[in-house]
Structure 1
Amino acid sequence: MPEAAVTRQAHRRDFVVVSTTQFFLAFALNFMLVFLPFYVHRISTLEEAATLRWLGLIMGAAPAMATFGSTFWGRLTDRFGPKGLFERGMLSHAVLVILMGFATDLRLLFAIRVVQGFFGGISTIGL
């Protein structure tokens, strides 16, 4: 097999793996958002109006921080390469989602979502 065909095959395989991984990462994070309001309501000790304000902050924290995190992770990707950073980003997402399950306070959940948003900028590397 010519070297160009092998290289093309390797690129195609890498593309399929990264695309599939990116799909499942986005699916998992967005699927989790469906249950987040119920979780916030369950752990909240505040009245309904205050709980709804916290819910808005918690839901919006990750996308807002991903705005800033994306540029940071983009610079790191240019410097160190995308593969290792993408793997570390996926690991950080997994750890943070697990930590969210143990959060017993809205402030802690908000802080975890802020960190998750900052590390959420890493998921754009897969695009």
Structure 2
Amino acid sequence: MQDKIRLDKWLWAARFFKTRSSAAKAIDAGHVHCDGQRAKCAMAPKIGDMLKIQAPHGTFEVQITQLAAQRGSAEFARTLYQETPESMVRRERDLFAQKMQPHFDHPDIKGRPTKKWRRQLNQATDYLEE
């Protein structure tokens, strides 16, 4: 473990992003904030900093508890931060809302619809227009 590391490297080591470059892109896009301020890739995080991270798998509010420059196991990654209870509740609520949304994809169709499936779609839209 090191005293000074880059924020993008820490986010990668904490397994919020699959690659360091995707962590850097998220930081550049403004998806990571440190103590309420927009973060930069080369910023050196400190123990106790509060991060707000918008990752592909959810929005997290975490407090840094350890610094690490190398990516380890998932169990080790969880020791690098502590998520706030409000963040956990919000993520669970968002996941539940996402599961409850209607899903309109047909399970048998991958790519363009077949002629039979297109006929069924047309029949359904004709029925809705009546």
TM bin, normalised by shorter chain, reads: under 0.3
Give the number of the structure whose residues are more often helix, by fraction: 1
Q: Scaled by the length of structure 1, what TM-score is found?
A: 0.22
Structure with higher RCO (Cα < 8 A, 6+ apart): 1
Give the number of the structure whose residues are more often strand, by fraction: 2
